[in-house]
């Protein structure tokens, strides 16, 4: 076990040795190929990020991990509203007064955020920032319950239609003074996708990136075994609800147990419904699979907010999902069982199946 210090923090590298037996093409003598399971962790984007890879060259993995972590750190410094030097922080500080010039990369993710908002009828809305800040879910603020008369004036500033993007000069402006952007439901997924692209550019193809439960898995852990992912039980902190197998895809979970407070026996969590200004009430957690971590991140938030109305709004959801409703019942897309080998642990005995088309 070795420790490697970067400019910002310490990341830890662990190595396990595995042996695969393969047949040499030119003869009948088996040849052993040594494989290493290499993992490293680093604290980024408000959570612990872990990268695992299967590869015969440990040094190549360590170098690739360094570049992947560096890429995620770059994205964080670009898109985090909590860092005063980020482009999103500059938008929040000045876009009510004048158009703010941003990079093509930031502009592109804001364009995609508006596209997601249109897809979800505004239930995923990155202009939720002013509400998140008041509740105390932004940064390290203390979570406090707003007075009812505070909610409506703040909710009126949550409207993606009032986010003015000018493609001619990549500027961003707020049509309503006091608006705020919060990319918490999309930036981490995007950062994972960028890290995955970096690993592939470095020649690493069998890997898993886990950023606080938002995951992208590439290739295989062993020759014929996909990556096994555990889904956390929303009411039993040390227990897993289920497990499934994925490869070359992403999985994200939104849960009311991640950032919350309990006041007068009521749980107030960070996943806010733009329609009410209050935490969404019909789910404990939602897990979604998608081709990219960004899409999984967004859709997990959307499915959580829409709750019981999911199938009435989208009778044929595009992305496989597992939803724990407010009563603790489990609703799932049956493709998770058939295609991803979903298995429940004994902590959850009953569930309802929403069959996919």
Q: What is the DSSP string of 184-228?
A: TTTHHHHHHHHHHHHHHHTT--SEEEEETTEEEEES-SBTTBPEE
Question: What would the pLDDT profile of 221-239 be if each residue is shown by its tens digit?
Answer: 988 899 999 999 999 988 9
| 352 lies in the same domain as 207 | no
Q: Which helix (H) or strand (E) holds 56?
A: none
Give the pLDDT band of residue 344 (cuts 50, 70, 90).
Answer: very high
Give mean pLDDT, residues 305-313.
89
Question: What would the pLDDT profile of 185-217 be if each residue is shown by its tens digit?
Answer: 999 999 999 999 999 999 999 999 999 999 999
pLDDT at position 139: 67
| 239 lies in the same domain as 282 | yes
Give the pLDDT band of residue 28 (cuts 50, 70, 90).
Answer: very low
- Whether the pLDDT of residue 101 is over 60: the answer is yes
Domain that holds residue 343: 226-357
| 247 lies in the same domain as 221 | no
| 271 lies in the same domain as 151 | no
Q: CB count, 10 Å around CB of 261?
A: 16
Share of the chain above pLDDT 70, in %: 87
**Number of structural domains, the chain?**
3
> Cα dist. 99→87, 90, 255 in Å?
12, 11, 35
| 102 lies in the same domain as 236 | no
Question: What would the pLDDT profile of 84-100 be if each residue is shown by its tens digit?
Answer: 999 999 999 999 999 99
CA 7, 9, 12, 13: dihedral to nearest 10 degrees?
Answer: -30
Question: What would the pLDDT profile of 255-289 be if each residue is shown by its tens digit?
Answer: 999 889 999 999 999 999 999 999 999 999 999 99
The CATH number linked to 109 is 1.10.3980.10
SS3 270: coil
| 338 lies in the same domain as 232 | yes
pTM of the model: 0.89
| 251 lies in the same domain as 284 | yes
pLDDT at position 15: 58
């Amino acid at each position: 076990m070795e420790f490697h210090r970067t400019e910002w923090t310490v990341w830890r590298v662990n190595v396990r040795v595995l042996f695969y037996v393969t047949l040499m093409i030119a003869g009948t003598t088996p040849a052993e190929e040594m494989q290493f399971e290499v993992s490293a962790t680093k604290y980024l984007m408000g959570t612990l990020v872990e990268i695992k890879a299967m590869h015969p060259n440990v040094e190549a993995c360590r170098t690739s991990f360094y570049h992947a972590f560096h890429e995620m750190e770059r994205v964080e410094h670009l898109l985090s509203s909590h860092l005063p030097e980020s482009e999103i922080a500059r938008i929040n500080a000045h876009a009510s007064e004048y158009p703010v010039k941003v990079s093509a990369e930031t502009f592109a993710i804001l364009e995609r955020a508006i596209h997601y908002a249109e897809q979800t009828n505004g239930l995923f809305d990155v202009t939720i920032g002013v509400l998140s800040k008041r509740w105390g879910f932004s940064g390290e603020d203390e979570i406090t319950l707003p007075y009812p008369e505070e909610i409506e004036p703040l909710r009126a500033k949550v409207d993606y239609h009032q986010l003015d993007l000018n493609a001619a000069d990549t500027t961003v402006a707020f049509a309503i003074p006091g608006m705020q952007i919060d990319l918490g439901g999309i930036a981490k997924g995007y950062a994972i996708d960028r890290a995955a692209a970096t690993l592939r550019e470095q020649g690493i193809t069998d890997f898993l990136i886990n950023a606080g439960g938002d995951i992208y898995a590439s290739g295989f852990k062993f020759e014929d075994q996909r990556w096994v992912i555990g889904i956390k039980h929303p009411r039993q902190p040390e227990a897993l609800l289920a497990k499934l197998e994925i490869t070359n895809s992403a999985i994200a979970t939104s849960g009311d147990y991640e950032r919350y407070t309990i006041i007068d026996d009521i749980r107030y969590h960070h996943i806010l419904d733009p329609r009410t200004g209050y935490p969404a009430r019909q789910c404990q957690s939602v897990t979604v699979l998608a081709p990219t971590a960004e899409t999984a991140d967004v859709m997990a938030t959307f499915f959580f907010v829409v709750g019981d109305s999911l199938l009435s709004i989208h009778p044929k959801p595009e992305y496989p999902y597992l939803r724990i409703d407010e009563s603790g019942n489990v609703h799932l897309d049956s493709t998770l069982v058939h295609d991803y080998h979903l298995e429940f642990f004994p902590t959850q005995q009953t569930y309802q199946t929403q069959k996919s088309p």
